[in-house]
Chains A and B, each alone.
Chain A
Amino acid sequence: MIGDIVSGSETSKIILIEDSIDNSGRSLLLSYAVSLSQRVDEVHILLFDVRSQDTYEAVKSLGIQNIRVHDGSKDLLQWNKTPGLGLHTDVKTLILRGRASPGTKSVAIVIDSLSPLLTHTSPPYTCKTLHGLISSEDLESQVLQVVSLLHGDLHDDHSLSLVHHTCTTIQKMVPVTTPLTMYCCNTLHKKVSGKVIRITENFNLLEDFRVMDVSEVKQVTKSIPQDSNEMDPTANLPFNLSLSDKEKEARSQVILPYTYNKERQDSLLAKSVGEGKIFYQPDEADDFDEEDPDDDLDI
């Protein structure tokens, strides 16, 4: 899954990489930047973080042509009134101004990181900024994807939940489970069709930040152990409960009492009501006296 999202086979408009002190996500962010540079005309990296010099160095060492870096980490809140990127600048006008070639069709934005924005401004402002970046108006070209890094241990759950609500893919860096791989992340991906996929994977990153060796971490689920030798309750009985084939055949031939049967219907209709025969069988206790004491019977 993570390979698909990074390479672009799974489309996702807003990707969030949530990391922490113990599990850094900066390398994954760079791998996104590298992959995006192959797919779009321009990749703009916005630096807000204190440690974003590492990103800057890494990008410079890669030497990819269509990545443009905007450094806003020196004067975030623009107290010195430096021109360029600050927290409150309109990113789109900045990108438009710094555009080298006028004919760019598609743009991608990578943000390192979103934490200063979330700290200094309110969560709705951050969510609106993210949402606004993905729309194509005022930019004259289509924004393919926005990838941002967020330090999960710096913010409270409430702000994080608001940001998660806005993003379509959330990748949380977690401790590695096997010693073979370097990174592990838990991905929550909301597909366009509405399906939601949640998966945890181990992966490696090469020196040019390509994703390799993706393997899924299978959760050990507590399943009820299936009783494989379940006792057949009809096995050890003194009487027979099963039917032989002949008996089954005979059973299917039985005419059920309330079924519609032509012969039965006819016999019911044809039978006249007047006849009723009495069959009397006297036993020893009956006194069958032929005599008539009153003499009024005429037999």
Chain B
Amino acid sequence: MATTSFQKKARVKINQIAGTKPSLFNNQLLVSSGVPSLDNIIGGGLAVGTVCLVEEDTYGNYSRLLLKYFSAEAAMTGHSLVLTSGDQDPSQILKELPAPIIDDPGEINTANSAEQPENMKIAWRYQHLPGNQLGHSSSKFGHYYDLTKVMDPQLLTSIKPVLIGPEDLERGCNQCQELNPKYKYLLTRIQKEIEQGGHSTTQHTDKRNILRIAVHSLGSPQWDECGGLDLSHEDTDFSLPRFLLALRVLMRSAFAVCLITIPTHLFQIPGYVGRLRKMCDTVLLMESFAGSDKEKNPAFKEYHGLFHIVQLPRLNSLLSHMPDTLDFAFKLRRKKFTIEKLHLPPELSDT
């Protein structure tokens, strides 16, 4: 379908921040998560000032991939990035970011005309219309990435990412009564980054930019977290919900977006994961089929796992965004990662 030339006559009062767009449902400022298919499901993107929790799959591979997409999107839109990991060196994650697919509008037209489909016999009236467009080539919201290639390091150094690795956490933490020392250290670092980068809503800067905070595998044993249990193994340790609450407070007064992955399958205290979910805004759960019985199920043949939307935020409104279905699945192909509506394969008899 040809794009219309209709231009909305709106007075743009707020300065446009690069890489953001206002939501179509409410007037929230949205930021792309890096995976355009995910953006479509959660209502356009992640809202600025919120915390998105991704509950990890059993072996953590796909959640790490989401984190990589999030960080790559930061590099593409020029947002500032803070990347933390307790399990591995964050610079290792940065070395594996996927390269963006930059398509030239001119190139798309020639590509389409080159591969003429065979003459349509019945629908010949639609022959002259152009084929499926990949997306608006002029939009700066949501980029496509190629997983087989690695992002150019120069693109990353231009945004000057702040990396907090396991050694920094070990060295920087001091004894603390209310909170796990490592979480406290991370909070102070994030607060410092917000103030220094001018991302706080109270600071007045002429060039606003978004701060993206990516936390990998928070709550894993490397963070001194014993699955929600106290050191005495009797009481519940509420450090993680407290940390998430404090983080959300920080986010609400800053132009920042936070993506956290937590291995919730390690928490076996009933109700604990529920608390974690309530403390965050958007909660997504990835359930991969690797190593489980569902791998052999013929209905899931094309997919690598199920994608559950556990919670969507109600920001300044009575209702949250509701997608038309809640059955989603993800598949990781060689070049890209997509989240799709789960549909069963066609039922064909074997004759």
Chain A proximity of B87: nearest CB distance (Å) = 7
Cross-chain contact of A158 among B59, B87, B222, B268 (Cβ < 8 A): B268
* Contact B291–A188 (Cβ < 8 Å): yes
Q: Distance (Å) between the CB of A105 and the closest chain B CB?
A: 22
> Is the pair B221, A194 in contact by a Cβ cutoff of 8 Å?
no
Given contacts A131-B87, A162-B227, A196-B291, contact A190 B59 (CB under 8 A): yes
Whether the Cβ atoms of B59 and A226 lie closer than 8 Å is no
- Kindly provide the distance from the CB of A58 to the nearest chain B CB, expressed in whole angstroms: 31
Q: Are A166 and B221 in contact (CB under 8 A)?
A: yes
Asked whether any CB of chain A lies closer than 8 Å to the CB of B55, the reply is: no
A165 within 8 A of B: yes
Question: Are B268 and A157 in contact, with the CB atoms below 8 A?
Answer: yes
Question: Closest chain A residue to B293 by CB distance?
Answer: A221
B218 to chain A, nearest CB (A): 13
A8 CB to nearest B CB, Å: 22
Q: Name the CB-closest residue of B to A195.
A: B290
Smallest CB–CB gap between A256 and chain B, Å?
Answer: 7
B61 x A194 contact (CB < 8 A): yes
Q: Does A127 contact B (CB under 8 A)?
A: yes
Known pairs A161-B266, A190-B59; A127 contacts B124 (CB<8 A): no
Number of A-B contacts defined by CB within 8 Å: 61
* Contact (A196, B59) CB under 8 Å given A127-B222, A188-B291, A226-B350: yes
Contacting B at CB under 8 A, from A227-265, are 230, 232, 256, 258-260
What residues of A have a CB within 8 angstroms of the CB of B124 in the complex? 259-260
Q: Mark each residue of chain B from 173 to 189: 1 if its CB lies under 8 Å from any CB of chain A, else 0.
A: 00000000000000000
B side interface size, CB within 8 A = 27
For residue B225, CB closer than 8 A to chain A, the reply is yes
B229 near A158 with CB under 8 A, answer: yes
Residues of chain B within 8 A of A259, CB atoms compared? 121-122, 124
Query: Which of chain A's residues have a CB closer than 8 A to the CB of B121?
Result: 256, 259
Distance A158 CA – B226 CA, assembled complex (angstroms): 9
Tell whether A123 is near chain B: CB-to-CB under 8 Å.
yes
Bound CA span A196–B304, Å: 12
Q: How many residues of A contact B (CB 8 A)?
A: 28
Chain A residue at smallest Cβ distance from B221? A127
A226 to B222, CA, bound (A): 50
A128-B350 contact, Cβ under 8 Å, with A157-B268, A196-B291, A256-B121? no
Query: Would A158 and B227 count as touching, CB distance under 8 A?
Result: yes
Q: A3: CB under 8 A from chain B?
A: no
Q: Which residue of A lies closest to B62 (CB)?
A: A194
Q: Decide if A124 is an interface residue (CB 8 Å cutoff).
A: yes
- Assembly CA distance A157 to B263 (angstroms): 16
Nearest Cβ on chain A to B139's Cβ, whole angstroms: 31
Per-residue CB contact flags for chain A residues 255-279 toward chain B (1 = under 8 Å, else 0) read: 0101110000000000000000000
Q: Would you call A196 and B226 a contact (CB within 8 A)?
A: no
Given contacts A162-B226, A190-B59, contact A128 B221 (CB under 8 A): yes
Q: A127 → chain B, closest Cβ, in Å?
A: 3
B325 within 8 A of A: no
A9 CB within 8 Å of chain B: no
Interface positions, chain A 150-186, Cβ under 8 Å from B, are 157-158, 161-162, 165-166
Whether A80 sits at the interface, judged by CB under 8 Å, is no
B172 to A: closest C-beta gap in Å: 16
Q: B122 near A165 (CB under 8 angstroms)?
A: no
A165-B220 in contact (CB<8A): yes
When distances are taken between beta carbons in the complex, the residues of chain B under 8 Å from A221 are 296
Q: List 26 A-B contacts (CB under 8 A).
A: A122-B226, A122-B231, A122-B233, A123-B221, A124-B221, A124-B223, A124-B225, A126-B221, A128-B222, A128-B224, A157-B268, A158-B229, A161-B265, A162-B226, A162-B227, A165-B266, A166-B221, A166-B222, A195-B290, A198-B291, A230-B349, A230-B351, A256-B121, A259-B122, A259-B124, A260-B124
Q: A196-B290, A230-B350 are in contact. List 9 more A-B contacts (CB 8 A).
A: A122-B231, A131-B222, A158-B229, A161-B265, A162-B227, A166-B222, A194-B61, A256-B121, A259-B124
Q: List the 8 closest A-B pairs by CB distance, nearest first.
A: A127-B221, A194-B61, A196-B291, A196-B290, A124-B221, A260-B124, A162-B221, A124-B224
